[in-house]
């Protein structure tokens, strides 16, 4: 099946671009983008993914305001043309590739709407490729890049207008594609108990942005990691080709877990550059965002589920009312005050910890910190 992008010399396989290079049902191609105010009174995020071998496209948008999280979920039959990035009221438009994007949520029955533009302040940082097998079967094989920027525009939440000013609201976005578990589960023999340890920390400072992410097994052995320090630019037009980021030779972490939970009360990230320079970043969480609001681990709106040719729903909850050890609520992002030497900044600490992890003292599927 041809699409208009087939008229450009960008093919990577003998197939038209509408056809993935693999028939794996878990192939996906996805946008994620989020923003937060410098004073911590606002967080929001959006996601839009296409799963061509499942013929599904879905999107979510979620806002945390005054201790309450509001979410919108939409799903549709995937279009043949990959450039059609709209699901119900949610649309993403690439205004200038790798420099600026527009996120729109048209008025709809959920009470969430908005019109926002993301303008980059760093180049896109390519993360190490995620490759993982479980029982000889590919579990993850994907590529992702992360980019820092600022947001401008406005939101409408529960009937209230929320202005979003570029100098006040920073953000991070990523693009990823490849294979990871999505959609309805495949029929198969039972596997080992689930175990997944993931930390991701994109942090804004005035003159640089730092990025790190890592996965560990139950013994604390790292199977995927990457860290970078990227220069910032005043406008997207000033950003040169390439990311200009300094890659780190190693990264390590220390998490002080909140008692009875699997969420951080405080955190420290230690990165060593290839030149041997140590950078220590301390993080103080000030607000929480539940990734459930974007469909992650959602029982009804998980990524890639077939919901029919068109579906839309909204939901909201008080953050303090949630059980921190309910499996649906384990995947979180915490907005954090950050310090690196004399620098002060703000950013995210994403956490997903399932199953045992000896360095953290977790021994079962979802036991909390002692």
The token pair that represents 54 in the structure block? 């499942």
3-state DSSP helix/strand/coil % of the chain, to nearest 5: 5, 55, 40
SS3 7: helix
pTM, full prediction: 0.95
Least confident of 41-55, 100-114, 176-190, 207-221: 176-190
Q: What is the pLDDT of residue 202?
A: 98
Which of 367 and 136 is assigned the larger pLDDT? 367
SS3 4: helix
Nearest in space to 356 (alpha carbons), one of 153, 204, 218: 218
Interval 315-328: pLDDT, tens: 999 999 999 999 99
Residues 82, 50: contact at Cβ < 8 Å?
Answer: yes
Q: Quick one: which H or E segment has residue 249?
A: strand 246-257
As beta bridge partners, residue 70 has 63, 316
- For residues 87 and 281, give the distance between their C-alpha atoms in angstroms, rounded to a whole number: 38
Q: Is the pLDDT of residue 252 over 90?
A: yes
Q: Is the pLDDT of residue 186 over 80?
A: no
Domains and CATH numbers, the chain: 24-184+191-360 (2.40.370.10)
- For residues 281 and 338, give the distance between their C-alpha atoms in angstroms, rounded to a whole number: 7
SS3 93: strand
| Residue labelled with tokens 């059609």 | 84
Q: Is the pLDDT of residue 256 over 90?
A: yes
Which of 91 and 158 is assigned the larger pLDDT? 91
Per-residue pLDDT band at 283 (split at 50, 70, 90): very high
Residues 39, 6: contact at Cβ < 8 Å?
Answer: no
Q: Rg of the chain over CA atoms, in angstroms? A: 20
Residues 272, 250: contact at Cβ < 8 Å?
Answer: yes
Per-residue pLDDT band at 137 (split at 50, 70, 90): confident
In percent, the amount of the chain with pLDDT more than 70 equals 100
Q: What is the pLDDT of residue 298?
A: 97
- For residues 271 and 214, give the distance between their C-alpha atoms in angstroms, rounded to a whole number: 12
Per-residue pLDDT band at 312 (split at 50, 70, 90): very high
Residues 123, 106: contact at Cβ < 8 Å?
Answer: no
Q: What is the pLDDT of residue 233?
A: 96
């Amino acid at each position: 099946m041809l699409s208009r992008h087939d008229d450009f010399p960008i093919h990577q396989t003998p197939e038209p671009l509408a056809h993935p290079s693999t028939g794996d049902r878990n192939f996906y191609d996805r946008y994620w983008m989020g923003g937060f105010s410098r004073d911590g009174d606002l967080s929001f995020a959006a996601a839009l993914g296409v799963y061509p071998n499942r013929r599904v496209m879905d999107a979510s948008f979620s806002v945390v305001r005054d201790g309450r999280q509001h979410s919108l979920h939409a799903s549709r039959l995937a279009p043949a043309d990959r450039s059609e990035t709209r699901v119900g009221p949610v649309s993403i438009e690439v205004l200038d590739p790798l420099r600026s994007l527009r996120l729109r949520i048209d008025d709809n029955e959920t009470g969430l709407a908005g019109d926002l533009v993301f303008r980059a302040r760093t180049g896109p940082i390519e993360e190490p490729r995620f490759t993982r097998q479980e029982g000889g079967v590919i579990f993850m094989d994907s590529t992702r890049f992360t980019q820092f920027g600022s947001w401008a525009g406005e939101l409408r939440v529960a009937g209230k207008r929320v202005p979003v000013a570029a100098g006040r609201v920073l953000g991070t976005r990523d693009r990823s594609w490849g294979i990871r578990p999505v959609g309805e589960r495949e029929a198969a023999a039972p596997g080992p108990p689930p175990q997944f340890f993931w930390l991701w920390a994109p942090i804004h400072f005035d003159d640089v942005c730092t990025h790190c992410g890592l996965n560990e097994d139950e013994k604390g052995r790292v199977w995927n990691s990457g860290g970078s320090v990227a220069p910032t630019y005043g406008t997207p037009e000033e950003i040169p080709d390439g990311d200009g980021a300094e890659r780190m030779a190693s990264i390590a972490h220390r998490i002080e877990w909140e008692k009875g939970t699997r969420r951080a009360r405080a955190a420290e990230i230690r990165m060593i550059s290839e030149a041997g320079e140590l950078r220590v970043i301390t993080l103080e969480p000030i607000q929480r965002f539940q990734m459930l609001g974007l469909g992650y681990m959602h029982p009804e709106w998980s990524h890639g589920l077939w919901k029919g040719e068109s579906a839309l729903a909204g939901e909201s909850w008080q953050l303090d009312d949630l059980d921190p050890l309910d499996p649906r609520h384990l995947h979180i992002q915490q907005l954090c005050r950050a310090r690196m030497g004399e620098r002060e900044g703000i950013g995210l600490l994403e956490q997903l910890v399932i199953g045992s992890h000896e360095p953290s003292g977790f021994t079962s599927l979802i036991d909390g910190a002692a």
